[in-house]
Amino acid sequence: MKKKLEQLKSLLHEITDLNHIIAILGWDQQTYMPEKGAAERGSQIETVTRIAHLKYTSDELADLVEELMNQVNNMDPDSDEACLIRKTHHNLVKQKKVSTEWVSEFARVTTVAQSVWEKARANSNFKMYQPHLEKIVSMRRDYAEFFAPYEHIYDPMLDDYEPGMKTTETMAIFNVLRPRLIQLIQEIGNHTQVDDSFLHQNYDEPRQWDFGVDVLNHMGFDWKRGRQDRTAHPFTNTFAMDDVRITTRFMPDYFPSALFSSVHEGGHALYELGFARNLARTPLADGASMAVHESQSRLWENLVARSLPFWKFFYPRLQRVFPAQLSGVDVKSFYQGINRVQPSLIRVESDEATYSLHIMLRLELEIAMLKGEIAVKDIPEAWNERMQTYLGITPPDDALGVLQDIHWAFGGIGYFPTYALGNVISGQIWQKINSDIPDLDQQMEKGKFSGLLTWLRENIHRYGAKYEPQDLVYRVTGSKITPEPYLNYLEKKYGQIYSL
């Protein structure tokens, strides 16, 4: 058994190495590769992907996992080894159910759909994109059938991003979230809006960069184990236990964009840098799920870096960097400005209070399309109706409405809920941290974040992908994923900012 386990690990090490090589090729493509390198880079990524896939689908791996699964019940269920065997088994079983014809056709369909989506969005022309989305939805229905009988048609897709999580559980969480968020936003709308005009001034890019680095240093980002570069869309990429890279983007006339991107991606990176070393080069050196990953980035971005204690420390430093822009703005006004709530059309630009409503709308439409309750041709209208109901605004065209996100075009139905679940989990974790570290606010006011990072490492990061998200959240907080702590946090914070 020990020998079999070693064989499994060494196969998984090779596969993980190949996946990290693919990540390096992709990162370079988005950062430093000269434009004309794209064609051959595409073939390189395809070649390495094919080799990794062959290894992953080999009989050797399948046989090893089958044999080890027979013995997993004799092992300590929380051991790294038992978790590794179960995780690999779960992934292989899922993969085996889906036909190879479906996989290659879906790759073809979504490649075309993405380039059509780009043009459709540029021209705000949904009709152009509609047949491609119809095909994707129909293929996603076929995908669900590979997993029949299922409890909910959406379950197999959600499970790809949130292992073990059920659609009914997600809907139950959102059903609590939705009315209270709508009410909160309406109440805010009835009160005097806060001023954020001072954020819309010219902020010199090199000084923005340096301030972001100062914040990342205080968060505990280790520059010997990572770096930061510029890209059009910020992301985090992991190449190794000790090599995790983040990117950010700068807007010269809007200060928060680069800073909060750096902090958000920094939160993702700290998670990746916190996995226990025993998990290296295996599928367990990964986040527990997309939502848990997002809980880490959003915890740093919103609960930490949009808090008053954080700015009590950082604001005098920021004022020294940008005296002309900020010398006449006090810390409280600054704090209110960066937390301004304003229903808006674009998900990625939306604030903390409205963000989750953008997600719920998408989840509802995904399910309605899969079930055939709303025809794809009627989706733009259904989108606009919900925008009006939830946020009180109607997109003037489809580019600012149904066409804004790439997710459906790459086939990622099932992905959206993970963003809002991440918010919800961040609220639960925050509540637990504050009861374990009662003077956390005072620590943050002094610019000390090491207590927070240590807590996150010990309670969440080191486990990597050993546990499914519901299991992990239960272990950490003593309760399954529940929206109450997050709602209480939002209602208290915005109640104060807007004197509700």
Q: Catalogue the active-site residues.
A: 265
SS3 of 362-431 = HHHHHHHHHHCCCCHHHHHHHHHHHHHHHHCCCCCCCCCCCCCCCCCCCCCCCCCHHHHHHHHHHHHHHH
Q: How far is the CB of 264 from Zn ion (least distance, A)?
A: 6
Q: How far apart are CA 340 and CA 353, in angstroms?
A: 9
Q: How far apart are CA 22 and CA 220, in angstroms?
A: 27
Q: How far apart are CA 277 and CA 265, in angstroms?
A: 21
Q: How far is the CB of 273 from Zn ion (least distance, A)?
A: 15
Q: How far is the CB of 45 from Zn ion (least distance, A)?
A: 22
Q: Of 324 and 348, which CB lies nearer to Zn ion in the complex structure?
A: 348
Burial class from Cβ neighbours inside 10 Å (0-12, 13-18, 19+) for residue 463 reads buried
With b for 16 or more beta-carbon neighbours within 10 A and e for fewer, the 243-264 pattern comes to bbbbbbebeeeebbbbbbbbbb
- 8 A C-beta contact, residue 90 and residue 69: no
Cα dist. 39→28, 46, 66, 420, 457 in Å?
Answer: 14, 11, 40, 36, 40
Q: Of 322 and 430, which CB lies nearer to Zn ion in the complex structure?
A: 430
Q: Of 228 and 297, which CB lies nearer to Zn ion in the complex structure?
A: 297
Q: How far is the CB of 298 from Zn ion (least distance, A)?
A: 7
Give strand pairing partners of 227. Answer: 245
Q: How far is the CB of 294 from Zn ion (least distance, A)?
A: 5
Cα radius of gyration (the chain): 23
308-321 vs 205-219: helix crossing angle, rounded to 10: 140
In the bound state, the residue with its beta carbon closest to Zn ion is 297
| Positive/negative CA dihedral, 179, 490, 387, 264 | negative
Q: Of 21 and 406, which CB lies nearer to Zn ion in the complex structure?
A: 406
| Positive/negative CA dihedral, 438, 442, 444, 450 | negative
SS3 238: strand
SS3 465: coil
Q: Of 336 and 404, which CB lies nearer to Zn ion in the complex structure?
A: 404
Q: How far is the CB of 88 from Zn ion (least distance, A)?
A: 26
Only one residue has tokens 């992301």, namely: 235
Q: Of 16 and 297, which CB lies nearer to Zn ion in the complex structure?
A: 297
Q: How far apart are CA 365 and CA 495, in angstroms?
A: 31
Residues making contact with Zn ion (CB under 5 A): 297
> What values do phi and psi take at 237, rounded to 5?
-135, 135
Q: Of 133 and 291, which CB lies nearer to Zn ion in the complex structure?
A: 291
CA dihedral of residues 99, 105, 111, 114 (deg, nearest 10):
-90
Q: Of 160 and 187, which CB lies nearer to Zn ion in the complex structure?
A: 160
Q: How far apart are CA 288 and CA 475, in angstroms?
A: 13
**Closest by Cα among 355, 329, 340, 354 to 497:** 340
Cα dist. 49→290, 351, 484 in Å?
Answer: 22, 37, 42
Q: How far is the CB of 72 from Zn ion (least distance, A)?
A: 33
Tally: H helices and E strands in the chain: 21, 3
Q: Of 297 and 470, which CB lies nearer to Zn ion in the complex structure?
A: 297
